[in-house]
Amino acid sequence: MEKETKQEKNWWPIGLLTFGIIFCICVISMVFVAMEHKWEPDQSYMSAYKQVDKNIDEILKKQKIFDSLYSVKIDTKEFVFGQNQLKLTLLENNTTIVKDANITAVVTRPDTNSFNQNLSSFTFDGKDYSSSNFTLDKPGRWIVEFRIETNATTGFLKIEKFVTKK
């Protein structure tokens, strides 16, 4: 009697090949998706990421000194769709108005630099610092980052506002 040997098909090579093809398709599609969504450089503390990373200890030390010497009162009027203006008061030791500060601000949307508006011309009227007018043309969340430089130190401030289209 001859023993019959049954030959079964081995499916492992076909499974591995299928897995490899699916893996390659996933990698290629991930590259295309990544190319469509560009990376936005971080502008925290109004500087490039590398500068902030290199000088973070000095920035935080100056911020601590600024917080102990000065208080900032921002006009918290809501932003509107269209023309807006920023006003802030800078007080030394909560009593004396600081007259010689250099204030710059960036009005931006979160997670993108496409809508950045740099405000560098703040005027002092004896009590408040006022920015030039700027336009908000998109509804949603907006972030204002201030850089306030005085003779003693530099401080940073960040506020968020929500704009609705009426």
pLDDT tens readout for residues 27-62: 999 999 999 987 777 778 888 888 888 999 999 999
As given in the structure block, the two tokens for residue 24 are 């390659």
- Do residue 23 and residue 88 come from a single domain? no
Higher pLDDT, 113 or 64: 64
Alpha helices in the chain (DSSP H): 12-36, 49-69
- Do residue 104 and residue 70 come from a single domain? yes
- Do residue 61 and residue 101 come from a single domain? yes
pLDDT value at 110 more than 80: yes
Whether residue 1 is contained in a domain is answered as no
Residue 66: pLDDT band by 50, 70, 90 thresholds?
very high
Calpha distance 156→163 (Å, rounded): 23
Whether residue 5 is contained in a domain is answered as no
Query: Of 4-13, 77-86, 140-149, which one has max mean pLDDT?
Result: 140-149
Start-to-end C-alpha separation, the chain: 93
Whether residue 4 is contained in a domain is answered as no
- Do residue 135 and residue 114 come from a single domain? yes
Region of 55 (left: φ > 0; alpha: ψ -120 to 50; beta: rest) is alpha
Contact 118, 153 (CB under 8 A): no
- Do residue 141 and residue 98 come from a single domain? yes
- Do residue 29 and residue 57 come from a single domain? no
Calpha distance 45→50 (Å, rounded): 11
Whether residue 117 is contained in a domain is answered as yes
Residues spanned by the domain of 145:
44-163
- Do residue 158 and residue 100 come from a single domain? yes
What distance separates the 2 farthest-apart alpha carbons in the chain? Answer: 114
- Whichever domain contains 156, its CATH number is 2.60.40.10
- Do residue 110 and residue 31 come from a single domain? no
Domain count, the chain: 2
- Do residue 77 and residue 146 come from a single domain? yes
pLDDT value at 1 more than 60: no
Whether residue 52 is contained in a domain is answered as yes
